[in-house]
Amino acid sequence: MLELTDIEAGYGRTRVLHGVTVPAGKVVAVLGHNGAGKTTLLRLAIGLIKPSKGRVLFDGEDVTSLAPNQRVARGMAYVPQGQQSFGQLTTLENLQLVADGRRGGKALVDAQMARFPALEQFAARKAGLLSGGQRQQLAIARALITQPKLLILDEPTEGIQPTIVAEIEQTIVQLAEEGMHVLLVEQHIGFALEAAERYVVLASGFVTQTGVGGMAATSTVRAAMAI
């Protein structure tokens, strides 16, 4: 689905990613310590930053020069790090905002309410008053309303209470089972590798390890990351 080849990218003159290649896969996990370049890689995948070298392929098409909205139109959705939503709008309004103008908009909202019971329960609550975990679920639900082929998730369980972490992990597994592709940045290495078909480890913007996912990869990855 998504394939990144030999990417060089950064901010201004600061080069952050050095020859990064990410293989296609159903669920692809991007692992690495703080500052390794994981978020930069996801921003590059959705088109918020452009590579100075390398190629982004999506669904067989070279999308390297396409803007984020064009990539979204082709079936990518991006949930940034940090559980963002419109805090002054209710849960329901946050979802309706994305659904408005789409065919079957109400059904799309209802489907996400059904997927995330907490969002249904707090439909009328301002998003700013939701818990971090609920806001993360709302951010994922907003992305899912666009019915993406590829969901790009940046640390969806970061700073979230354990009970909701399990729910979010279950959602990711469920989405993959439903046929969605996922590009996942995740600090919980055990879960990420369990869910992933393929993984890459980034360190200081270089890919230091790549391989096939599964629990068996956990010890190799932990050793490579020295944790």
Contacting residues toward Mg ion, per CB under 5 A? 38-39, 81
Residue 117 within binding range of ligand ATP, rule CB under 6 A: no
Residue 36 within binding range of ligand ATP, rule CB under 6 A: yes
CA atoms within 13 A on the CB side of 106: 0
In the complex, minimum distance from the CB of residue 102 to ligand ATP, in angstroms, rounded to a whole number: 31
- SS3 state at 116: coil
Residue 35 within binding range of ligand ATP, rule CB under 6 A: yes
Residues 6+ apart with CB under 8 A from 204: 18, 35, 36, 37
In the complex, minimum distance from the CB of residue 156 to Mg ion, in angstroms, rounded to a whole number: 12
In single-letter form, the type of residue at position 73 comes to A
Q: Which of 1, 2, 28, 38 binds ligand ATP (CB under 6 A)?
A: 38
Q: Which of residues 75-114 bind ligand ATP (CB under 6 A)?
A: 81
Residue whose CB is less far from Mg ion, 68 or 105:
68
Whole-number Å distance between alpha carbons of 88 and 102: 23
Q: Which of 40, 91, 137, 171 binds ligand ATP (CB under 6 A)?
A: 40
- Angle formed at CA 40 by CA 36 and CA 42, multiple of 5 degrees: 115
> Count of CB atoms within 10 A of residue 34's CB?
6
Residue whose CB is less far from ligand ATP, 105 or 132:
132
- What is the chain's Cα-based Rg? 17
Residue whose CB is less far from ligand ATP, 37 or 156:
37
Q: Which of 9, 22, 27, 39 binds ligand ATP (CB under 6 A)?
A: 39
Q: Which of 25, 32, 47, 133 binds ligand ATP (CB under 6 A)?
A: 32
- Residue 27 near residue 172, CB atoms below 8 Å: yes
